[in-house]
Each structure stands twice: as C-alpha cells, then as structure tokens.
Amino acid sequence: MESPITVSLEDLVNGIKDETLDQAFGPDSLGIIVIKDLPSYYQELRLKVLKSASVLANQPPELLETLEDEESSWITGWSCGKEKLRSGLPDYNKGSFYVNCAFHKDDSLEGPSKELCEKFPDYKTYTTPNIWPPSNIKELETFKKDMKQLVNLIIEVAEKVAVNCDNYISKRFDIEKNYLKRTVQNSTCSKARLLHYYPIDPNDTNAPNADDDWCGEHLDHSCITGLTSALFLDESKDLLHDLPTSPDPTAGLYIRNRKNEVVKVNIPKDCLAFQTGSALQEVSKGNFKAVPHYVKGTNIPNIARNTLAVFCQPDLDEMVNKSENFADFATRILNSNY
C-alpha cells in the first residue's frame, strides 16, 4: 500500500532533497507530504479547534443562519446544505465554517485589502470579510483566537514547504525564484475550512452510500492545502467526547494516484499534511501535479468526524501563468467543473 512521504519540520527548515520532493509531489507521487515533529502546542490547539466544530455545528438553526453569507456563495462563515451530493440532493451530511486567512499577513485584516476588493467587485467568494460566532457561546469563547492561531501555524509550515518547492521549481523553470513562498506568506485570499461531518442517521434515506458522496472527488484550486488529521467524536455521549482513534477504518481521505488507483491516506494526529492543488500545477508548468481526492465520513451511528483544511492560494490579481491571474484561473476551473 502506498504511503505519503513523511519528513520532520526540522528537515523541512534545513531543506529537503529534490528526490524527496519528487516522491512527494512529482509525476509518480500521491501529491502529498506529511510533516512531523511540530511545535508542542500543536496537538492541544488542534484538539480545541476540532472539538469546537461539533459545538458550532450543533447550535440552534436560527443562530447558524446569522453566520451564513449568501453573497459569498456561502464560502464565508457557516454553510450547510448549499452543496449538492452526486445524487443532486442538498448535502446536509456535513457543515463547514469558512474563514478568510488575511490575518496571517496582517492581524487587523478579516478579508482582502480594500484596494483588492474594489479591483474585483464581483468576487465576493474571496473578498467577503469573516463572520465569527458570538464569543458568549459556551465552549466557543476562544474560538476566534484558537482558529487564528492554528491557521497561522499551518500557513507558517506551508511557507517552509513552499520554500523547498520554490528551490526545486526554480532549477527547472524560468519563474520568479520565491514565487510560492511569497504567495503563501502574503496572500489575503487564502481560505480555511473547518469541517463537521454529522453522525449518520441509519433511517435517513438520503444518507451517503457511495464512497465519495461525503465530499466528492475533486482537485483543490490552491497552491498548497494544509490538512490536520481528523478528530472523531461520539456525540451520543456529549459533543466534546473525542475518541483516541478512528472507529471506522474506511473513513478518511482518499487519493487517486497516477495509476488511477484509489489510495487511503492516514494523517497521524500529531502531524500536518500538505497536498498540491491545481494552482501549483499551473505555476510549476505541470511538474507538480494536483491529485484527485475525496473524503469519506463514517457510517457508524453517533460518530462525528471533524477536520480543518487551509487552502493557501494566490491573491486574485496574482498571475499563475502568462495569461491568467488567479481570479481568471479559478473562474475557468469552476466553469469546467460545473
């Protein structure tokens, strides 16, 4: 069984060999790398944020409605039932809380700069500022602070992945030497998605049954996507009752490799994984391939699955090839998918 390449954060900082990058992201790879030996506070922070996903997802509907933003196509704040399953039915099996990550560049920002918003008035999906839940909700008092801290850590590690990718790419192609690092570090259009897969209802005739009904097979638009290991909770006990391991060996992240084989990828809970997206494929002129992947929840009753993905992607006006900025590129990809 194929396994993703794993390196320590220290090795990443010191620089990893081109062969390792080939194995992680090259033409015959899974397109994912796992980073171990993270800062000691990572595991506690991950646990707090992923537990909060269950608390948030189980708030009263009238409160969750105040966190929705239709103008952004529900890609800011809370979203549930807005996406569709392959069957065409609304997807109520998972809820998402989307956060713009501009605060990584400037802690005072909750969205892109005013100048960028004015330059792209029709791109509310990317330019709408963050909507945070009230801080007086029990167990969500520090949600905003914790979320920002975890996202910042993930992007900081992504920057180190980017440095290694830049060194690799710049030896082979005539592009800006530090393109990827600069993009990851300075973007005000990166997005985080906190995901809560609701416990399955055995009596629900619309419950997902196909493997990728939970989160259908797709490519990320990002340059690099940072992923935490999923947290499983038994919500029949209480919303914060986390389990030490996954109770369902079939639940998780699946990648379709270059041989068209589906491979299940397990991310250790003390590690982060970084996956290549289609923007990086474009920037690297196809050297780093974006890989198709999907996520499967669990069919065990009462068990929720929570995780966090951070999509490190360029600003809307950043060029990803000779003729397209990220806004043009993302629009083209979306139009080809829908």
Domains of the chain by residue range? 5-337
Give this prediction's pTM: 0.93
Quote the pLDDT of residue 207: 56
Which residue, chain included where needed, has tokens 């009752």?
241
Tell which CATH architecture fits domain 5-337. Answer: Sandwich (2.60)
pLDDT of res. 338: 42
Identify the three-state secondary structure at position 323: coil
pLDDT of residue 212: 47
- Report residue 321 as tokens: 């090839």
pLDDT of amino acid 208: 55
The residue ranges of the chain whose pLDDT is under 50 are: 210, 212, 337-338
> Between the CA of residue 39 and those of 9, 154, 272, 301, what are the distances in Å?
9, 11, 11, 34
Strand ranges for the chain from DSSP E: 5-8, 32-36, 77-80, 94-100, 191-197, 215-218, 224-228, 231-234, 252-256, 262-265, 272-276, 293-296, 303-312
What is residue 257's predicted lDDT score, i.e. its pLDDT? 81
How confident is the model at residue 215, as a pLDDT? 62
Please, are residues 176 and 74 in contact by the beta-carbon 8 Å criterion? no
Question: What is the C-alpha to C-alpha distance for residues 310 and 5, in angstroms, rounded to an integer?
Answer: 20
Cα separation, 255 vs 295, in Å, equals 9
